[in-house]
A and B are shown apart, each in its own frame.
Chain A
Amino acid sequence: MIRFIFIRTIRAILTALTVVTTTFVVLRVTGDPVQSLLPVETTPPEIIELYRRMWNLDQPLWQQYVGYWQGIFHGTMGRSFVDGRDVVGIIAERIPITLELMGWTFVAMLAIGLPAGIAAALNRGSWIDRLVMAAAVAGHALPGYVMGILMIWLFAVELRWLPSSGYGTPQHLIMPVITLATAYGAVIARFTRAAVLEVLGQPHVLAARSQGWAGHTIMRREVLPNAAIPLVTIIGLFLGGLIGGSVIVEWIFAWPGIGRLLVTSVAGRDLAIVQALVLLFSATMIFANLMVDLAYAFLNPAIRVRG
């Protein structure tokens, strides 16, 4: 067990090292950011020099690399190329806004996906099963931007129930959350169905049934705890999907979180913000994947031996 945790942690650290080094290298090989920012011909050399010093571009490469790491640990990631504000500050004030969206989405997608998947598995082959599976396939092929536009057209334009975009009231949350949650709720339903069906066929469930246990007792004590194990492993997968999905959804609904910040920063080539966001997303994903691996090892002893 300790060996397993050790190996996994080392792998996660190596992955993080690679990501940080890659963003550093990529940022430097794409040329002098100052030149893409300022008109070279008309800017006085002192100003260019000043900007260089501001982002430590006048130092040798290895010093920049060391400084880059120091910045990450001190929480100073430089200043925005566009408005000169502190990058960490800009991102920090938007993180709670995105977390609000993601948190509700997470709750909503479990609330949609788990009951649908369990119902489909228990009524295998019935119309419930077919409906859930058809919805799962369709949900997978319906991208967030199509779903989002459809929601805006239906609920904001035709029915006039909800504001089409923006942030502030609970009404503003509804459409973004539903847009994100249907896509992943569909996938969760599919996984839950498969996991429950798998457990239902196991000997211990058949034994419990042959001993005359009540159906809901079997579900609560035998089926659901065992079906939960494979579901834990895909949560890491979902986090990645949620991060990508929230970028699109925040863009459609003008939700002022970090996803929208990423899109505007990419469009404006504000590389200081882009690299900080990429590091943030990667760190979150690496940490989540590590936690999932460890949780899975606790839940399923057989995996520990393999390392």
Chain B
Amino acid sequence: MHFSIRQSASAVRQSSPVLVAACVWLGLMVFVAVFAPWIAPYGYAEQDLLLRLQPPSFAGGPPGHWLGTDHLGRDVFSRAIYSIRISMAVAFFGALIGAVVGTSLGALAAHRRGLVEEIVMGLVDVQAALPFLIFALLVIAFFGNDLFLFVLVVGFQGWERYARLARGLVLDAKTRGYAAAARSMGLPLWRVYFVHIGPNIAGAMAVQFTLNLPETIILEAGLSFLGLGIQPPLTSLGLMLNDSRNYILLHWWLPAVPGALIFITALSMSLIGDGLRDWLDRSQR
């Protein structure tokens, strides 16, 4: 199973306009996340207390703040840009942590079998028994909140699914001829796993990764919304939404901007994940 550029290009041509729009949106979000400091006209914590709660330019607000300002006179557009940067970074690195930890543990369980497998799968059961939001809240309550720990916690979201998937795939791969052949030729173990088995399970893991991304975004924004995730003065989409709660009555743009960004981004990611899964299913048949 290889992802060649020619195959990907043909997959894009065959796919629906909705999927293309999702890809374009996600690409835009990645671009904004990477180049945030050059795009944002103001800093995310820059206050102008004389221009508080101004409506967007197109709704009669001042020309300098085209999405308006919040209760501290901070530019909503600039804060949204930086929030996208933070949320995307937390989601991406977080999802990567879960993927690496889960896949390694799953592969280890399939490799060693016996007691190791029992312990890993037991941990998977424990994790699956506890709603992840509750688990994250527990860790934050016990260990306090700092950015590094927060990314780590958010990242563990979904590790048990990678572990289950990787274990199943590696067990399956071990029964196939190529793995036994590679082993019998006396190749070192790391080569068998990274060069021979790895590429064969990479497609399924990539699909799991894209399906996991929107959940990570939603979890990050949710914890920040509860005031237990990203802490001010840093900003995140969930934090912006939480800040806006007291101003819904007269200032609709304050919740609308972060709410729409979270929804469209999570939607794009799950559409791409679904599309990728369907495409992988088709190409394996």
Contacts and interface: CB of A to CB of B under 8 A. Distances in A.
A19 B126 contact: yes
Interface string B96-120: 0000000000000000000000000
B131 A240 contact: yes
Given A240-B131, A247-B133, A265-B141, A149 B259 contact: yes
Given A149-B259, A153-B248, A15 B126 contact: yes
Range for the number of chain A residues in contact with chain B? 35 or more
A66 interface: no
Contact of A285 (B129, B255, B270, B271): B129
Contacts, number: 126
Range for the number of chain B residues in contact with chain A? 35 or more
Interface string B129-159: 1111110011011111000000000000000
Interface-central residue, B142, B263, B266, by most chain A CB under 10 Å = B142
Contact of B214 (A30, A141, A145): A141
A77 to B, nearest CB: 15
Given A18-B122, A266-B141, A271-B141, A137 B133 contact: no
Interface string A261-272: 011011101010
B267 A141 contact: yes
A263 B228 CA distance: 8
Interface stretch (B70-78, B180-188, B217-225): B217-225
Interface stretch (A106-114, A274-282, A298-306): A274-282
A153 B267 contact: no
B89 interface: no
B90 interface: no
A150 interface: yes
Given A18-B126, A146-B259, A157-B248, A141 B141 contact: no
Contact of A149 (B125, B255, B269, B271): B255
A247 B226 CA distance: 9
Contacts of A140: 270
Contacts of A150: 255, 259
B131 A244 contact: yes
A265 B225 CA distance: 16
A280 to B, nearest CB: 10
Nearest to A19: B126
A27 interface: yes
Nearest to A265: B141
Contacts of B270: 137, 140-141
B249 interface: yes
Contacts of B221: 143, 145
B141 A269 contact: yes
B262 interface: yes
Contacts of A199: none
B35 interface: no
Interface string B216-255: 0010011001111000000000100100110011001001
A225 interface: no
B134 A278 contact: yes
A15 B126 CA distance: 6
Interface of B: 122-123, 125-126, 128-134, 137-138, 140-144, 214, 218, 221-222, 225-228, 238, 241, 244-245, 248-249, 252, 255, 259, 262-263, 266-267, 269-271, 274
Given A141-B218, A244-B131, A269-B144, 6 more contacts: A140-B270, A141-B269, A146-B262, A150-B259, A248-B133, A267-B227
